[in-house]
Structure 1
Amino acid sequence: MADFEKILQAAGDFGLFQKLLLFALSFPNLLIPFHVTSLIFHQASMSSSFHHCNTNWILTVGPNLTKKEQLSLTVPQLLDGSFSMCEMFAPVNWSLENIRQFGLNETTSCMHGYIHDTSYYEFDLVCDQAFLVGVAQTTFLTGILVGSLLFGPFSESYICLLLLSPYYIYFRIVFMIIAMYVTGLSPNVYVYMASQFIIGVSFGGFRINSVILATEWIGMTKRAYAVCLGQVTAALGQCVLIGVVYFIRDWRTAQFIMGAPSFFTVIYIWFLPESARWLLEQGRTEESKKAVLKAAAFNKRTVPDALLVKLSKEKVIETGGIKSLLSSSVLRKYFLTLIYAWAALNLAYTSLSLNVGKFGMGIFTTQLIFGLTEIPAHILCVWLSELAGRKPSLMSTLLLGGTTCLVSVFIPHAPAVVALVTTGRFFMNWAGSICYVYTQELFPTSVRQTATGLAYIVAKMGGMLSPLLNLLGVFHEIIPTVVLSIFSISAGALAFLLPETKRTELPDSMEEAERKRYKHSATILNCGPMEQLFG
């Protein structure tokens, strides 16, 4: 398909058609943070000022006790003077005077439940049940992994049929909306986790396919927009999430309100187009031609008949899949390097995101800072990836992000830790966008779906490990940060093995991906002998 880029330029490679398509594909990313509302706020770190054992038994003999007096008499104090969150003194049949005089000494676990803010901690995921927080987070991420597997590599041969069929999108979004509302109605943590799994499965794969579809419709000079705009809307969604949850303190009510915008997606999803490039590769030339002419009409452009004739003469290139991807030594090297980077940055990003309540500042403040700093990260990604190139951008963001997080473990002050961790997360966001762009530009059309799907799955597996990584904090609080920093720094170093793909045509065959990219990388970077070593 050597002439497809020329045809796309003639039809308009970033006109009204592409902009409307980008908006339609990016809007669902605005809703992503809404689905993890309860996952974030249920796990926030709690203090004894609003979380402790239920010791109201003493109010039967001392109904006029103040809260502080009640805790002093019924809850053990720790070395730092705070009250224990998971222990209490065993109840006794004494008068208040005897309790004051002799004191209580026999401790036990919370016999009558807990006292805490039920707006966010309704399932009592504390003390001996605290591990269920990590289980719930892993369940949601597992759902995304399963969805990515089903709607990624497994749908290679039917990418547009599965992705853009109105019936398919309709039912997937309906299931996601239903599961989101079931989350808000969950009577216990087990129903809650089941609904989170369904949300993950329903949403899994949409991000993969939306990026591929947008990339294949946009010209080489604006290709980074296909990834970064979706990331920006996700960051905006996080800021909106904080505002809603801050003013609506009941998490169930917030869940219902934030699920409403998903209905809008069901309406317009019917009108999304298929990828003309993919249709052409499948030999569906007439459908591809109609799609190109429709795009040209939106952009008020005219495609010359000579180019359309060439389009009609194009033949099916080749079939792809996992076997084709891994059989090429060049593509295999690129793929393994990219998935390691993607897994490392997602491990770091998800671990930091799920730990927002443990950095010494309020969860709302920290989460808002996270959201606001993501917006410039993705905007800068568009500009600097075109200015400096994909390879330097990926290497620098991973190295700087990992180093910043590593430095944070040596800083004792909470505001400084939040600043460093936010900066590290900023770079991880940036690196994630570059990985998306890189994956589209490195691999040919025949295996682009497979490569992106598998990379996304490995990335989510990295994210799934983050709750387990955070559990290592029970041995020492710095262990999770040190581990994720080491992975990020090593991924940044390995990114040196990748070629540069800035402003190159998308490869449509294995040969183009292996040789053209290789040659272009050597030309831009002037590698010389290094070309023979790493090419």
Structure 2
Amino acid sequence: MKEEESIRLDLNPVGSENENCKRKNGSEVFKLFEPRKTLSDDFGFYEKCLLFLTQAGYIPIAAAMLMTAFMEPSPEWCDTIKESDSAWQFNEHREFYSLSVESGFDCQPNSSQTTAMMSSLLMWGALVGSFVCGFLSDKFGRKPVFLGCLSMVTAGHIALSFSNNFSWLTINGVLASMGFFCGGYMVTNFVILTEAFELARSRLLVVSLNGWSISMAATGIIASLTPYWFTYHVIFAVIGSILTIVSYKMCSESCRWLSANGSHQEAKRVAFQITLCNDKREIDEDDIIILKWYEVLGFSAPTHTEEKKTWKTLFKSTRFLKPTAVMCYSFMASSIVSFGFYFSIDILPGNRYYNMALMGILKFILGFTPFFLNRFITKRIIAISSIGVCCLAAVLILPIQYYEIQCLRTVIILLSLVISAGIDPTWKINHLYSAELFPTSVRSMARGVCNAGGRLGSVMAPMIVYLRTLNLLIPNVVFAVLLFVQLVVIVMFLPDDSDKDANEMNDE
């Protein structure tokens, strides 16, 4: 066993049976190295559990990021409050009794500023967390950072459930902290997930199953059923606690990360553990000596490099600079538009909870389109089509708002849903490219930069939405311009599926 690393056996998956097979019990022959070729090969029991846990983890994350969408009561409800201080006890209109209501900041002349400030605190925290946690994930591992972020967001929900004992300054500090770990979670959960798969089509499927949209719908539904800040945070604290414990027990460190950092023995141990969990075949001591970690999993051989990568690598290397810049802007523009419509949900006609739930459901449905359409067209064309439709919808909203056509208010809802949900295929392509365009040694850092672009967009979104107090048209004009520029950037600079630069997943 001490000489395990010195043993070299050239196993070629398309070679002779003598090279790829060994005998067991004198007669039975089985292959040592079975490369993954189909979705069923890629989706074992472990990979399915990892997919479920990482995406279910978005439930407490979305609840934290979107809580301010419910904080400010509608103007009609504020009028009711002025008539009767006890109106909240009856809550006939199911308005959300938020922390800002509890603290007396809502239904005041500056209440919109308070909500915008709290939203910005969350997003600024997420911006910083994306950078920091992306670096920590590449340095210390995917699993500890992923679990640490989820547990700290859960701790934030627990803290806010006792926030009636806190000062307003302390509450805002908790919000900024939760935003930090939300940003970190959105970087690291995706990396540990995509590195568990070999096939590009499998990674596209897990991107299409991204948990944000379903968690967004769950947030709207739970907020409508429990329109009270204490119950809201307790429910998500319980969910987060359960998911943290189960994820700690079930999830393993990324073998790709372990190998890229020189821990080949540990990568092999984890690979055998995953293989046994998937119940692929029996493992004996001879296999441990002969096989490499990627052969155990059925992955293709990585291209290993001893060069240490740093933050400067992303910005000084011509190989990484263009994809980093393109993906960072695409994330930022998509985030501004997405969060802009999330935070504008209170001015849309109808029930804000159901509008948010409907947005989440539509995003989930449309999020599957890249997986199905990629059989016929490239990811780049899918992204172009998605942004093109959203840009057109944003332009169509403007004349309806400008001329204040009351009979077309429902059309504004439909167009808003088209934009908020229709941009989701581009989000999925963005996430996939941000993992596949970069090698393992800088993947989390690159994801951190891209996600920081997204978080910068989410910071800017509430500020842009606040400009509606000056003129209702301003936010949608900004959204339309951003979408048009994003369309141009994707057309000119995003690589196609067949390009070598778009398939870096195995380059370590």
Taking structure 1 as the reference length, the TM-score comes to 0.75
Residues 55-94 of structure 1: CA distance to partner in whole angstroms, max 9, x if unpaired?
99xxxxxxxxxx9xxxxxxxxxxxxxxxxxxxxxxxxxxx
Given the superposition, is the C-alpha separation of residues 155 and 274 from structure 1 closer, same or farther in structure 2, using an over 3 Å criterion? closer
Equivalent residue runs for 1:47-58 within 5 Å = 47=76, 50-51=79-80, 53=82
Given the superposition, is the C-alpha separation of residues 309 and 152 from structure 1 closer, same or farther in structure 2, using an over 3 Å criterion? closer
Unpaired runs of at least 5, structure 1: 57-66, 68-115, 511-535
**Partner SS state of residue 130, structure 1:** helix
CA contact (8 A) 1:218 1:226 kept: no
2:495 corresponds in structure 1 to: 499
CA contact (8 A) 1:146 1:201 kept: yes
2:465 corresponds in structure 1 to: 470
CA contact (8 A) 2:71 2:96 kept: no
Unpaired runs of at least 5, structure 2: 1-9, 14-32, 88-93
1:258 corresponds in structure 2 to: 236
Residues 457-500 of structure 1: CA distance to partner in whole angstroms, max 9, x if unpaired?
11100110011111221221011111012111211221121212
Q: Which residue of 151, 166, 178 corresponds with 2:158? A: 178
In structure 2, give the amino acid aligned to 1:276: C
Pairwise CA distance, 1:259? 2.5
Given the superposition, is the C-alpha separation of residues 495 and 464 from structure 1 closer, same or farther in structure 2, using an over 3 Å criterion? same
Please give the alpha-carbon distance, in whole angstroms, between the structure 2 residues aligned to 1:408 and 1:263.
Answer: 42
1:143 corresponds in structure 2 to: 125
Given the superposition, is the C-alpha separation of residues 37 and 344 from structure 1 closer, same or farther in structure 2, using an over 3 Å criterion? closer
Given the superposition, is the C-alpha separation of residues 22 and 365 from structure 1 closer, same or farther in structure 2, using an over 3 Å criterion? closer
CA contact (8 A) 1:359 1:418 kept: yes
Please give the alpha-carbon distance, in whole angstroms, between the structure 1 residues aligned to 2:368 and 2:154.
Answer: 32
Given the superposition, is the C-alpha separation of residues 290 and 186 from structure 1 closer, same or farther in structure 2, using an over 3 Å criterion? same
Matched positions, count: 446
Q: Which residue of 113, 116, 121 corresponds with 1:131? A: 113
CA contact (8 A) 1:236 1:372 kept: yes
CA contact (8 A) 1:377 1:427 kept: yes
1:338 aligns to 2:333 (yes or no): no
2:192 corresponds in structure 1 to: 213
CA contact (8 A) 1:149 1:453 kept: yes
Equivalent residue runs for 1:492-531 within 5 Å = 492-496=487-491, 497-501=493-497, 505-509=503-507
Equivalent residue runs for 1:56-67 within 5 Å = none
1:240 corresponds in structure 2 to: 218
2:292 corresponds in structure 1 to: 308
Pairwise CA distance, 1:502? 6.5
In structure 1, give the amino acid aligned to 2:495: P
Residues 5-26 of structure 1: CA distance to partner in whole angstroms, max 9, x if unpaired?
9876289422222111111211
Larger radius of gyration: 1
Pairwise CA distance, 1:505? 5.0
Residues 140-189 of structure 1: CA distance to partner in whole angstroms, max 9, x if unpaired?
1112122222211354222336426x6x4685355334334245x36664
Given the superposition, is the C-alpha separation of residues 118 and 505 from structure 1 closer, same or farther in structure 2, using an over 3 Å criterion? closer
2:26 corresponds in structure 1 to: none
2:423 corresponds in structure 1 to: 428
Residues 239-272 of structure 1: CA distance to partner in whole angstroms, max 9, x if unpaired?
3333332233333333323322111022112231
Given the superposition, is the C-alpha separation of residues 223 and 255 from structure 1 closer, same or farther in structure 2, using an over 3 Å criterion? same
Pairwise CA distance, 1:427? 1.8
2:6 corresponds in structure 1 to: none
CA contact (8 A) 1:285 1:311 kept: no
Q: Which residue of 367, 372, 392 corresponds with 1:378? A: 367
Residues 19-39 of structure 1: CA distance to partner in whole angstroms, max 9, x if unpaired?
111112111113333224541
**Partner SS state of residue 110, structure 2:** helix
| Comparing 171-180 and 391-400, the one that deviates more | 171-180
Taking structure 2 as the reference length, the TM-score comes to 0.79
Please give the alpha-carbon distance, in whole angstroms, between the structure 2 residues aligned to 1:368 and 1:494.
Answer: 31
1:407 aligns to 2:434 (yes or no): no
